Amino acid sequence: RGEAGPSGAALFKLHCAGCHPDGGNTVNLRRTLKAADRAAYGIRTAADVAAFIRNPGVGMPSFTAGMIPPCEAKKIGRYVVETFR
Ligand code: HEM
């Protein structure tokens, strides 16, 4: 789609995969990135994922817009919902 910058996959690998390898969760095993687990917490859309990273729960660092700008958060969100079903 001609978007500039790194892909959602590359951004996920850089910022998220340390704790969420293959969409899992090595810190809190109950909260993987799979659709069923996310849905239990109302995290369904790419926008929901992008919002969650700003203000996550216990054990996950919050990512400010300085660290991950909105356009990158959107790409990560899209990657998560398209990849982890
Ligand atoms: C939860 C995404 C980085 C640790 C979650 C959830 C999402 C998410 C969508 C909710 C899962 C659910 O409800 O089943 C992301 C993304 C990241 C990222 C997109 C990168 C931008 C990290 C990192 C860590 C981490 C680096 C560890 C240092 C956790 C933990 C939870 C969680 C512990 C559970 C939080 C809670 O119980 O409220 N993550 N994550 N995440 N993530 Fe991440």
Q: pLDDT (tens digit, 9 = 90+) per residue, 38-69?
A: 999 999 999 999 999 999 999 999 999 999 99
pLDDT level of residue 37 (50, 70, 90 thresholds)? very high
- Residue in the block written with tokens 């400010």: 64
Output the residue whose Cα is nearest ligand 1's atom 26: 16
Question: Considering only CA atoms, which of 3, 10, 5 is closest in space to residue 79?
Answer: 10
Summarize pLDDT for 11-36 with one digit per residue, the tens: 999 999 999 999 999 999 999 999 99
- Stated pTM of the model: 0.97
Model ipTM over 0.90: yes
* Residue closest to 46 by CA, chosen among 4, 2, 84: 84
- Rounded distance, CA 61 to CA 56, Å? 7
Which residues approach ligand 1 with their CB closer than 6 A? 15-16, 18-20, 25, 27-28, 31-33, 37-38, 41, 43, 49, 52-53, 56-61, 63, 76, 80
| Number of neighbours of residue 10 by Cβ within 10 angstroms | 14
- Which tokens in the block code for residue 40? 């239990």
Give the per-residue pLDDT at 66: 98
